[in-house]
Amino acid sequence: MREDTAPEAPRGRGLSRRGLIGGGVAAAGVAGAFVAGRASEASPGESREGAAYPFRGDHQAGIVTPAQDRLHFAAFDVTTKSRAQLIALLKAWTEAADRMTRGLDAGAIGAVDGDSRLPPDDTGEAIGLPPGGLTITFGVGPGLFRDADGKDRFGLADRQPEALQTLPHFPGDNLDPARSYGDLCVQACAEDPQVAVHAIRNLARIGFGTVAVRWSQLGFGRTSSTSTAQTTPRNLFGFKDGTANVKAQEAAALDEHVWVGASDDPAAGWLAGGSYLVARRINMTIEVWDRQPLGDQEAFIGRTKGSGAPLSGGDEFTEPDLAMPGSDGPIIPKDAHVRVVHPDENGGVRMLRRGYNFVDGTDQLGGLNAGLFFLAYVRDPRTHFIPVQTRMAKVDALMEYLKVTGSALFAVPPGVKPGEYVAQSLFA
Ligand SMILES: C=CC1=C(C)c2cc3[nH]c(cc4nc(cc5[nH]c(cc1n2)c(C)c5CCC(=O)O)C(CCC(=O)O)=C4C)c(C)c3C=C
Ligand SMILES: [Fe+2]
């Protein structure tokens, strides 16, 4: 077995590296901050195929990191009863994730250099590919703490955050349990779908016998910007999405709305510097939407389809004027999405959205099985998500075109410091 002694300076393909040509990847720094763009002239705030983001830092990468174009998200059930085995898995996942985000093979031996009588410690489909801006973000679900009968599973029950509970049933929810919940989650984002899939596949492989994939979701065409340097992408309704998102540059807003504070929950001090991740698989009835007049589509959203400007005027980044009168009530209708979810109508709360479009083939009627895989990071789902979602489900004009088929909530531990493993503070 060969040791990979210099992971920061990989030694070529067979040397457990995938596609490194030159340049370097810094070993330390803020997780998710831009480190190096080898294949391109990427600048801070932009995400490119050659980019590599440090896995370790104060916060996990993949939250404020400029949203990459591709997603593979997986939720896992923990199948072991052993706390030691669970911790061993988290250590192994940490090591593999750290390596893969550098563009290295998941294991030190690699996909093709090992003993031919043994399975390789990397699956090989990312051979030759650059790091692809890969970030891997881990979360823990309510089921990790207590089983369905409320029994403590791993001696963690007294550390379960108050806010980490199964989300309530909302009007419009049509949940498939096979697309919902989970004890652990992994969000892999990259510019190349093969890099994201490779990451999830190898983590699932490493977890064999300890965890089992419960559900997973592929996504494309990020439906949010998380950096002011990014242009705003479009969702499958054709509208710019992410304009008013919380962005990486808004340090005060991140502290107020995204990062869990040290005194937020006395039982869950381990989560300080982390966040909560809401995942909702939202099917969109594309074909019905496509038959709506342009003016109606814009009224449902509250913004113009072309520029993304609010119906009250200005450009994309002009604040909506919710009081401006129109010919029949306010110019931004009372049930328009941007009004219903606007902070001014929701006690000032904001969220960091990081969703992706999905198309999972066609349904039985020949319609696209498509929609938005909604991901949002919030400081507390009880204040920052549940009330907004409740209001949306009751009054939002968009709801007629949406069906929520999957739902999950995870606590996302703080960043992994050098020498630590992911979620170490939970087990300390
Ligand atoms: C409960 C939270 C939200 C869900 C669920 C949700 C679903 C959803 N949204 C769109 C399209 C757009 N959303 C936009 C803005 C926006 N959406 C939410 C929350 C949820 N959306 C918030 C908090 C905001 C920002 C509001 C603000 O601060 O002004 C927009 C406008 C552009 C933008 O600001 O991003 C669009 C378009 C769809 C299609 C959808 C479900 C499939
Ligand atoms: Fe929205």
- Convert the pLDDT of each residue in 196-238 to its tens digit: 999 999 999 999 999 999 999 999 999 889 999 999 999 999 9
What are the start-end ranges of the H helices in 174-235? 193-206
If one counts every other C-beta atom within 10 angstroms of the C-beta of residue 142, the result is: 20
Q: Model confidence at 44, in pLDDT bands (50, 70, 90)?
A: very low
pLDDT of residue 48: 62
| Ligand 1 pocket test target in 250, 288, 338 with most atoms within 8 Å of CB | 338
| Centroid of ligand 2 to alpha carbon of 159 (angstroms) | 32
Ligand 1 atom at minimum distance from 351 CA: 23
Residue whose C-alpha is closest to residue 63's, from 201, 264, 245: 245
| Centroid of ligand 2 to alpha carbon of 414 (angstroms) | 26
pLDDT of residue 27: 32
Ligand 1 lining (C-beta closer than 6 Å): 235, 237, 239-245, 280, 282, 284, 301, 303, 337-338, 341-343, 351, 371-372, 374, 388-389, 392, 398, 402
| Centroid of ligand 2 to alpha carbon of 309 (angstroms) | 15
Closest residue (by CA) to atom 7 of ligand 1? 374
Strand (E) or helix (H) holding 424: helix 424-427
What one-character DSSP code corresponds to residue 320? P
pLDDT of residue 33: 52
Chain-wide mean pLDDT for the chain?
A: 91
Q: Model confidence at 36, in pLDDT bands (50, 70, 90)?
A: very low
Helix (H, G, I), strand (E, B) or coil at 64: coil
Could you give the CA distance from residue 202 to residue 254 in angstroms, rounded to a whole number?
31
Strand (E) or helix (H) holding 220: strand 211-220
Helix (H, G, I), strand (E, B) or coil at 408: strand
What are the start-end ranges of the H helices in 266-371? 286-289, 294-301, 337-340
Could you give the CA distance from residue 245 to residue 229 in angstroms, rounded to a whole number?
13
In contact, 220 and 357? CB cutoff 8 Å: yes
| Centroid of ligand 1 to alpha carbon of 245 (angstroms) | 9
Helix (H, G, I), strand (E, B) or coil at 415: coil
Q: What ligand is nearest to the CA atom of residue 283?
A: 1
| Centroid of ligand 1 to alpha carbon of 337 (angstroms) | 7
Q: Residues of the chain with pLDDT > 90: what percent?
A: 87
Closest residue (by CA) to atom 12 of ligand 1? 241
Does the structure show a pLDDT above 90 at 22?
A: no
- Global pTM value: 0.92
Backbone φ, ψ for residue 16 (5° rounding): 60, 25
204: left (phi over 0), alpha (psi -120 to 50) or beta: alpha
Q: What ligand is nearest to the CA atom of residue 385?
A: 1
- Convert the pLDDT of each residue in 281-318 to its tens digit: 999 999 999 999 999 999 999 999 999 999 999 999 99
Could you give the CA distance from residue 112 to residue 283 in angstroms, rounded to a whole number?
41
| Centroid of ligand 1 to alpha carbon of 237 (angstroms) | 12
| Ligand 1 pocket test target in 175, 303, 374, 382 with most atoms within 8 Å of CB | 374
Q: Model confidence at 158, in pLDDT bands (50, 70, 90)?
A: very high
Does the structure show a pLDDT above 70 at 45?
A: no
Q: State the Cα torsion 135-141-145-150 to the nearest 10°.
A: -170
Backbone φ, ψ for residue 34 (5° rounding): -65, 135
More confident of the two residues 28 and 271: 271
Closest residue (by CA) to atom 21 of ligand 1? 341
String of DSSP letters for 230-273 = SPP-B-TTS-B--TT---TT-HHHHHHHTSPPTTS-GGGGGGTT
Q: Rg (Cα) of the chain, in Å, rounded?
A: 22
Instruction: List the structure tokens of 21.
Output: 């040509």
Ligand 1 atom at minimum distance from 385 CA: 1
Helix (H, G, I), strand (E, B) or coil at 35: coil
- Convert the pLDDT of each residue in 166-178 to its tens digit: 999 999 899 999 9
Closest residue (by CA) to atom 35 of ligand 1? 242
pLDDT of residue 223: 87
| Centroid of ligand 2 to alpha carbon of 337 (angstroms) | 7
In contact, 403 and 280? CB cutoff 8 Å: no
HSE-CB at 315 with a 13 A cutoff on CA atoms is 2
| Centroid of ligand 1 to alpha carbon of 374 (angstroms) | 9
Letter string b/e over residues 320-341, b meaning 16 or more CB atoms within 10 A of that residue's CB: bebeeeeeeebbbbebbbbbbb
| Centroid of ligand 2 to alpha carbon of 394 (angstroms) | 14
Q: What ligand is nearest to the CA atom of residue 302?
A: 1
Chain position carrying tokens 């909702």: 280
Closest residue (by CA) to atom 26 of ligand 1? 342
If one counts every other C-beta atom within 10 angstroms of the C-beta of residue 116, the result is: 6
String of DSSP letters for 111-163 = SSSS-TTS--SS-STTTT---TT-EEEEEE-GGGTB-TT--BSSS-GGG--TT
Q: Residues of the chain with pLDDT > 70: what percent?
A: 89
